[in-house]
């Protein structure tokens, strides 16, 4: 075989005392990185690498810890703070907004901060610690939240800290581990400590309680003192985050990665880091500064760029020139993401993958635990049983992580098919979960979707930093995570309205069904009612309800607070009046307590006049009521077709309720115990909850009233403490969604439904 003569440059490189095979055609920086890789591979998976594995694994742990936590505390937080189902996604949106800001901020800062700080050994090390510090600080503050807005703000700051964990940790860890094991180990730590997230907090051991604002008089309600479980849970998460920060900052001294130091031009510090790694690993470092100097002096590099020779901070470099260098390097990082067709294609596909992935698992992680609890509850499973089930339904995620780590190594499958198949099967599992009708199916499909989700993300998170060059790994991972988090903000806002629509049909009281001309079937009417409605409904199968559910309970007068309020409507302009409190931002209906000796209806009209300044009068409607009709009403004709459509499926046990009024001649519809064919001014509904100040059971009787929206309100009609209220008229269509409290929106919908039934065009 004829030997090909070597070039002079190759001969010079061959004279070096270190292996140079495969270094031809590389830049000086790339050759130095290749030597660093060979030295790390030679040392193998030593003690230093295992330390980093643990610390970076804890970073992944914190990311998943907080991401899963908000899905688990959603129900108890809502029970205490009383926000609507249509506002439930705001928690996830706030967290993802913080994650988005953190992803782009920490990704960029971790790569460029070292260019500005040359007086200390900085760079990604400080981001490695600071992200954890922010997470633990604001995580501990979460438990002190007393209102929903405060909770949302602090949640965003927790996300800001957590947002930098994965991208910084993965970029750091990949450069310290041996190359043959990089993908396997990164995949293994991507979803570490998964079973922890499945552990139910203290609140899961009790049956869910309604908010004190909406609970029925005879039902227990959820107050702060009775609902500390989710706070203890978040305190624990904050403490865990602090322990991780302490380990990173005080116990283990992290060194900046050698490749990053080489990119900064700090060859001596890079060698010092390599020697420190070898010392911890109890080995001898064969790489020294002379090897790097030999590469430079012997001309082994294909080209030496200005970025290899001119380092910001050197003597003789002007401030203007140094700033220009920093800015050019900042732009170079983004240019490298679009350097040629292959890199551009890779960058765009990674962005799209993160967008779809974050969209899917954000909604799944936040709402599926709640949906599983509702589905199991409909199948007569307790909430404690469901939260216990989270342990063994999340546990298969461990197998998914390990399977993803090893299957992607199979040449015939690889990472592409591993991610494609696992993502497809996760989507199929969620679709099938929507059709599941038994507890076993619910939990089995829930476990499958998390299994495939874990498998997909384990491969994705481990592969992404490896796919990009070392100088831009933090930037590449940060930008990809930014796009994912950005769409993670949008997805809960869409999902919360879809989720709210489902829960409205699933849990709403009868008035909501009347307003949309739909009723649950006789077999499902009990399951569709909330606890407060069930307490006053006689089921056909009493065995489906807890024993003692319908036992009368006495409440003393000092423990009851009787109030009246009005839904004020302008029938001509189709508007609804509400009162707005600028100090709190609350929109609500006018209401107040009755005076001694005062009729409840009169109290409702009086309180409405005082709080709005309007001249309001009762609005008689053909509302549905169980109040006993007068003899005159019984003589009025009945539209049997409308009546039968409204009350199809009513229990036959109510057919004798009018015998004490009219023993002869009553129609079948009238005998159902409901009056809906005659105009009257009976309450359109009631709202019940425990008063936070007095702890008395508050009962609000709502009445329909009318007023002129063009009328100027009288300020002198208001009491002194009601002067801050502002009167607002909104369209009838938008009024229910403008209310701060869901019960007020339900009262408006019931009033509008009764008006429509009475012939109003509203």
The tens digit of pLDDT for each residue in 721-743 reads 566 788 999 999 999 999 988 89
The domain of 718 spans 557-623+680-757
CB 581 within 8 A of CB 724: yes
Structural domain contains residue 27: no
User: pLDDT band for position 24 (50/70/90)?
Assistant: low
Domain total in the chain: 3
End-to-end Cα distance, the chain: 95
Q: Are residues 462 and 514 in the same domain?
A: no
Look at 179-183, 337-341, 416-420, 469-473 and tell me which has the smallest mean pLDDT. Answer: 179-183
Confidence (pLDDT) at 704 = 96
Among 473, 502, 531, the domain boundary falls at: 502
Whether residue 533 has pLDDT greater than 80: no
483 and 514 inside one domain: no
Assess whether 520 and 423 both reside in one domain. no
Residues 565 and 491 both lie in one domain:
no
pLDDT for residue 681 is more than 90: yes
3-state secondary structure 124-149: HHHHHHHHHHHHHHHHHHHCCCCCHH
Alpha-helical segments (H) within 588-701? 600-612, 631-634, 640-647
Same domain, 164 and 56: yes
Residue 656 has pLDDT above 90, yes or no: no
* CATH number where 715 lies: 3.90.79.10
What pLDDT is attached to residue 750? Answer: 93
Q: Is residue 661 part of a domain?
A: no
Whether 343 and 424 map to the same domain: the answer is: yes
Shared domain check, 514 and 498: no
Residues 535 and 474 occupy one common structural domain: no
Identify whether residues 63 and 165 lie together within a single domain.
yes
Could you tell me if residue 523 is inside a domain?
yes
Shared domain for 330 and 425, answered yes or no, is yes
- Give yes or no for residue 72 having a pLDDT over 80: no
- The pLDDT of residue 222 is 59
Q: Which of 475, 462, 463 is nearest to 127 (CA)?
A: 475
Q: What does the block give as tokens for 144?
A: 């002190």
Any domain includes 21: no
Q: Residue 657 falls within a domain, yes or no?
A: no
Q: Is residue 629 part of a domain?
A: no
Measured over the CA atoms of residue 7, residue 12, residue 17 and residue 20, the dihedral's sign is negative
pLDDT at 127: 63
Angle subtended at Cα 170 by Cα 305 and Cα 344, rounded to the nearest 5 degrees: 55
Return the minimum-mean-pLDDT range out of 55-59, 334-338, 702-706: 55-59
Within a domain: residue 65? yes
pLDDT reported for residue 25: 58
Residue 445 lies in a domain: yes
Which residues, in sequence order, are CB contacts of 262 under 8 Å at separation 6+? Answer: 29, 32, 33, 36, 270
The larger pLDDT score, comparing residue 573 to residue 412, is at: 573
Residue 227 confidence (pLDDT) above 90: no
**pTM for the structure as a whole:** 0.51
Local confidence band at 9 (pLDDT 50, 70, 90 cut-offs): very low
More confident residue, 666 or 62: 62
Domain boundary among 480, 502, 524: 502
- Please tell me whether residues 344 and 367 are part of one structural domain: yes
* Percent of the chain whose pLDDT exceeds 90: 12
Helix (H, G, I), strand (E, B) or coil at 182: helix
Euclidean distance between CA atoms 369 and 379, whole angstroms: 15
- CATH number for 470: 1.20.1250.20
User: What would the pLDDT profile of 366-403 be if each residue is shown by its tens digit?
Assistant: 788 778 777 776 676 765 677 677 777 777 777 888 88
Residues 533 and 609 reside in one and the same domain: no
């Amino acid at each position: 075989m004829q030997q090909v003569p070597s070039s002079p440059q190759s001969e010079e490189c061959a004279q070096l005392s270190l292996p140079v095979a495969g270094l031809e055609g590389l830049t000086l920086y790339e050759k130095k990185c290749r030597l660093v890789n060979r030295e790390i591979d030679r040392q193998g998976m030593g003690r230093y690498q295992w330390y980093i594995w643990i610390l970076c694994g804890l970073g992944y742990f914190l990311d998943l810890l907080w991401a899963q936590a908000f899905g688990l505390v959603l129900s108890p937080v809502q029970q205490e703070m009383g926000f609507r189902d249509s506002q439930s996604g705001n928690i996830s949106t706030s967290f993802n907004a913080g994650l988005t800001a953190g992803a782009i901020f920490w990704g960029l800062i971790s790569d460029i901060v070292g260019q500005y700080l040359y007086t200390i050994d900085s760079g990604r090390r400080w981001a490695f610690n600071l992200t954890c510090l922010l997470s633990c600080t604001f995580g501990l503050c979460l438990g002190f939240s007393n209102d929903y807005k405060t909770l949302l703000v602090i949640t965003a700051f927790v996300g800001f800290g957590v947002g930098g964990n994965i991208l910084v940790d993965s970029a750091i860890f990949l450069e310290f581990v041996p190359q043959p094991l990089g993908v396997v180990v990164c995949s293994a730590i991507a979803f570490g400590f998964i079973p922890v997230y499945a552990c139910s907090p203290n609140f899961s051991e009790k049956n869910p309680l309604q908010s004190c604002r909406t609970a029925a008089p005879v039902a227990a309600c959820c107050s702060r003192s009775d609902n500390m479980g989710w706070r203890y849970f978040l305190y624990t998460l904050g403490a865990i985050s602090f322990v991780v920060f302490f380990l990173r900052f005080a116990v283990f001294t992290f060194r900046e990665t050698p490749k990053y130091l080489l990119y900064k031009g700090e060859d001596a510090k890079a060698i010092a880091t390599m020697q420190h790694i070898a010392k911890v690993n109890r080995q001898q470092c064969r790489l020294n500064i002379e090897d790097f100097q030999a590469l430079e002096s012997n001309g082994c590099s294909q080209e030496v760029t200005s970025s290899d020779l001119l380092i910001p901070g050197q003597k003789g470099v002007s401030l203007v020139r140094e700033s220009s260098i920093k800015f050019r390097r900042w732009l170079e990082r983004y240019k490298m993401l679009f350097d040629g067709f292959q890199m551009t294609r890779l960058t765009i596909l990674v962005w799209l993958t993160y967008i779809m992935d974050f969209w899917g698992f954000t909604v799944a992680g936040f709402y599926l635990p709640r949906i599983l609890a509702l589905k199991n509850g409909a199948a007569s499973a307790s909430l404690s049983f469901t939260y216990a089930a989270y342990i063994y339904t999340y546990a298969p995620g461990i197998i998914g992580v390990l399977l993803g780590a090893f299957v992607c190594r199979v040449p015939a499958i690889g990472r592409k098919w591993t991610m494609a198949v696992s993502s497809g099967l996760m989507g199929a599992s969620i679709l099938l979960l929507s059709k599941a009708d038994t507890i076993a199916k619910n939990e089995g499909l829930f476990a499958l979707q998390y299994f495939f989700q874990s498998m997909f993300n384990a491969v994705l998170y481990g592969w992404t930093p490896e796919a990009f060059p070392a100088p831009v790994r933090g930037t590449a991972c940060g930008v990809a995570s930014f796009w994912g988090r950005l769409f993670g903000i949008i997805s809960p806002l869409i999902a919360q309205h879809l989720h709210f629509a489902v829960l409205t049909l699933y849990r709403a009281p009868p008035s909501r069904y009347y307003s949309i001309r739909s009723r649950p079937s006789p077999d499902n009417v009990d399951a569709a009612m909330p606890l407060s409605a069930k307490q006053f409904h006689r089921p056909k199968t009493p065995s489906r309800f807890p024993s003692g559910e319908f036992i009368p309970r006495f409440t003393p007068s000092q423990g009851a607070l009787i109030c009246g309020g009005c839904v004020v409507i302008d029938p001509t302009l189709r508007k609804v009046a509400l009162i707005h409190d600028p100090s709190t931002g609350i929109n609500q209906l006018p209401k107040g307590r009755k005076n001694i000796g005062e009729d409840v209806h009169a109290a409702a009209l009086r309180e409405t006049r005082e709080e709005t300044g309007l001249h309001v009068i009762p609005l008689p409607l053909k509302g549905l009521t169980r109040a006993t009709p007068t003899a005159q009403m019984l003589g009025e004709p009945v539209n049997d077709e409308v009546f039968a459509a409204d009350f199809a499926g009513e229990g036959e046990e109510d057919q004798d309720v009018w015998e004490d009024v009219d023993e002869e001649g009553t129609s079948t519809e009238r005998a159902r115990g409901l009056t809906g064919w005659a105009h009257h001014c009976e309450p359109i509904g009631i709202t019940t909850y425990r008063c936070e100040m007095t702890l008395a059971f508050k009962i609000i009787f709502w009445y329909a009233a009318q007023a002129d929206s063009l009328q100027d309100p009288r300020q002198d009609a208001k009491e002194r403490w009601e002067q801050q209220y502002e009167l607002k008229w909104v369209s009838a269509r938008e009024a229910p969604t403008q209310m701060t409290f869901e019960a007020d929106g339900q009262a408006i919908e019931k009033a509008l439904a009764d008006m429509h039934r009475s012939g109003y065009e509203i």
